[in-house]
Amino acid sequence: MGSSHQPQAETDAAFLEPFLRESGPTRRLRFDAFMRLALYDPVVGYYRRDHQRVGRTADADFYTSTSSGPIFGELIAAAARHLLGTADPHAYTFVEIGAEPAGGVLRDVAHPFAEARTVPIGETPRLAGNCVVFSNELFDAQPFRRFRRAKAIWEESYVTADKKGLLREDYQPTELPFDAPDTTPAGYCIDWSEAASALARDLTAEPWHGVFIAVDYGKSWAELTTATPAGTARAYLRHTQSNDLLASPGRQDLTAHVCWDDLQKAVAATGFSVDSVRSQEAFLVKNAGDYLAQVLAQEGGRFSARKQSIMQLLHPVNLGQKFQVLTAHRHAAEISP
């Protein structure tokens, strides 16, 4: 068995108890099982804690497009309306999956839909009828598995608790659940989330029709297997990015880039037609360009807060290229009986 050579992480008793219960006598969990516990355990999970995760305050852990204020919701509403084409938006329910508690991208935003509702991250939605289904950084929050090339074999990451309650990451030989290039060099890491693809498939398999919009950060399969030798996994705590994935379990966010190829296949398998994967900048300009022009005209030549928020959302060095947007659609007649 190999080792990641990462420092051991001290674990508080509140997290160690469910970890030992889940791992049993081996005191070891595969990395995705550890991550599921650290993020979604009902008691100690990061996404179950009553804590401000998103925002620009010092106590938050990261900021995203929703941190730009109502303008992001306004642009998403305009883009969704554009994607519906000639369909009447008043006949559709806007459903945001993975919304922050008491949040929602359309909160305090005038919109053209019959209803706007939110589903907290980790909860299973019930989708039916006419819908616009939206998510922002939902799929990168799903548990992922970690693989590392070791000479002629591949190894998979496990998290082990020693007798002192310290966590360490170890690797053991495994068979890959996907095809990786034969030329992959030793030491190359791949972070891969089958849970993200399963979630996309589950959401689009529900008996609804309309538009699917997923905003996230990710890469193509070719990029993940050739251009990210250290993998894409990282942790966030109070606006600090870290590679120490075992530190403060349950108190820091864990994430990795989604594989857009996998998500597109999952969505297409349920009868959706995938429109595109575009940068957030390209998505908003193409689908909410008229609304953008209207807002900029209203703001005139002044450098207002709304203009600054638009710049943050669109500019390549801010969020415009950091995030990508997958869009897909399915008409009522395309749902299998």
DSSP per-residue string spanning 28-40: EEEHHHHHHHHHH
The pLDDT of residue 307 is 84
- Interval 138-168: pLDDT, tens: 999 999 999 999 988 999 999 999 988 899 9
Stated pTM of the model: 0.90
Residue 164 is given by DSSP the state: T
Query: Can you tell me the mean pLDDT for 212-235?
Result: 97
Which segments within 234-272 are labelled E, that is strand?
Answer: 234-237, 240-242, 253-255, 258-259
The pLDDT of residue 63 is 45
Average confidence score pLDDT of the chain: 89
Measure the CA–CA gap between 85 and 83, rounded to whole angstroms: 5
Measure the CA–CA gap between 88 and 320, rounded to whole angstroms: 29
- pLDDT of 56 > 70? The answer is no
Q: How confident is the model at residue 189 (pLDDT cuts 50, 70, 90)?
A: very high
Distances (CA, A) of 146 to 36, 131, 140, 262, 302: 13, 35, 14, 16, 48
Query: Can you tell me the mean pLDDT for 209-220?
Result: 97
Nearest residue to 217 via CA among 239, 196, 248, 202? 196
- Please tell me the least confidently modeled range out of 7-16, 80-89, 158-167, 187-196: 7-16
Measure the CA–CA gap between 51 and 308, rounded to whole angstroms: 27
**What three-state secondary structure class fits 159?**
strand
Helices (H), the chain: 13-23, 31-40, 70-83, 194-205, 221-226, 260-268, 280-299, 305-314
Cβ-based neighbour number of residue 119 at 10 Å: 20
Residue 76 is given by DSSP the state: H
The pLDDT of residue 9 is 55
